[in-house]
Amino acid sequence: MTVSRIRVGGAAPYDVVVGAGVLGELGGLLGEGVRTVAVVHPVSLPEIARPVHGALESAGYEVVALPVPDGERAKTAEVAAGLWSEFGRHGMTRSDAVVGVGGGATTDLAGFAAATWLRGVKVVQVPTTLLGMVDAAVGGKTGINTPEGKNLVGSFHPPAGVLCDLATLVSVPRDDYVAGLAEVIKGGFIADPEILALIEDDPEGARHPEGRHTRELIERKVRVKADVVGADLRESGLREILNYGHTLAHAIERAEDYRMRHGEAVAIGMVYAAELSRLDGRIGTAIVERTRSILTSVGLPTAYRREAWPELRDHMRLDKKSRGARLRFVVLDDLAKVSPLEDPPEELLEAAYHEIAR
């Protein structure tokens, strides 16, 4: 299989390498001068890190394996502090590097630890899930959670490169893979409608890592994100469009104590954002129904508990996109055309939730 290189621009440009069996590219992404590489990976999945260790050792690096808890349980100040201690114990200097291997939570943590150790060391991300490849590992956003909310503590720290080995997707549990499709579908609604057409052409194939459109879907979504973050690293303008569906999604994740998959929450959040767009007079029913149809066709949820609204509304007050006490949403004006909806009236928020409540 050929190797694709998608360039992410900005002040510190880097490549996202996409292909099968591409671990040999790791040394090129790390660059010269690196001696010690700390490999951060989920504790329950040492097998996903072994090929990375082997590739690094074969290239002459000193490798330090640093297992962390699975999923969102890794994204705490305590776990980050444990990584800093290990970095210090192994004498990691500014010329050394971190490699994050795993899903989005692991790459978020690895990036944050790299961003904060010695005020910033090199990091290369090796996402092994669909969500990680198309979203979390690309863009330089790093972060951990607090009891008050998700990703409230973090840093912008672009990686030296991202390595998407498509061969790893075959072993991803089906529900996790399908959840990652939510971020792919989001890219279709906010920027590249061809993504939607590809999924509608073969929704069953979209559910499989070996589907006939899989590679194109991944590369299209990576390009969407690369174009956005290359122009706006720190979310001062354009990058905000990537938050489509996330305001309610993060509230749902917190209400579920992070037991719901991120992509499942985003799917529900996109339907909510579409309903907000419709009720605010920006779009018609066709786009809302298309949103439900595409998400349902690949097995993603589109509704949430009716009685949860007061709790969700309270959680949204701490959303990162808020400005002071003013809640801020990203909504659609049309396919591939978005804008902010700032401080919407409570009646509008509740009416939109009524449309997705079950």
Please report, in range form, the residues annotated as the binding site for NAD(+).
70-75, 104-108, 128-129, 141, 150
Residues annotated as binding site?
A: 70-75, 104-108, 128-129, 141, 150, 183, 246, 262
Provide the H-helix boundaries in the chain.
Answer: 26-30, 46-58, 77-89, 104-116, 130-131, 174-190, 194-201, 203-206, 214-231, 246-255, 262-279, 285-297, 309-316, 346-356
Active site includes 183?
A: yes
Active site includes 119?
A: yes
d(C-alpha 244, C-alpha 266), whole Å: 8
216 CB-near residues (< 8 Å, 6+ apart): 198
Closest CA to 66 of 26, 25, 113: 113
Catalytic hit among 122, 186, 220, 250: 250
Residues annotated as binding site for Zn(2+)?
A: 183, 246, 262
Catalytic hit among 186, 223, 246, 254: 246
DSSP readout, 309-351? HHHHHHHHTT-TT-BTTB-EEEEEEETTEEEEEES--HHHHHH
Instruction: Tell me the one-letter amino acid at 69.
Output: P
Active site includes 289?
A: no
Catalytic hit among 239, 261, 292, 321: 239
Catalytic hit among 32, 47, 119, 346: 119
Active site includes 225?
A: yes
Closest CA to 37 of 99, 94, 82: 99
Catalytic hit among 25, 183, 219, 264: 183
Catalytic hit among 262, 278, 282, 321: 262
d(C-alpha 130, C-alpha 23), whole Å: 17
Residue 253 buriedness (CB in 10 A; 0-12 / 13-18 / 19+):
buried
Catalytic hit among 145, 215, 219, 235: 235
Catalytic hit among 122, 141, 157, 223: 141
CB neighbours of residue 160 within 10 Å:
21
Active site includes 290?
A: no
Q: Are 157 and 123 in contact (CB under 8 A)?
A: yes
Active site includes 250?
A: yes
Active site includes 262?
A: yes
Catalytic hit among 122, 220, 221, 225: 225
Which residues are known catalytic residues? 119, 141, 183, 225, 235, 239, 243, 246, 250, 262
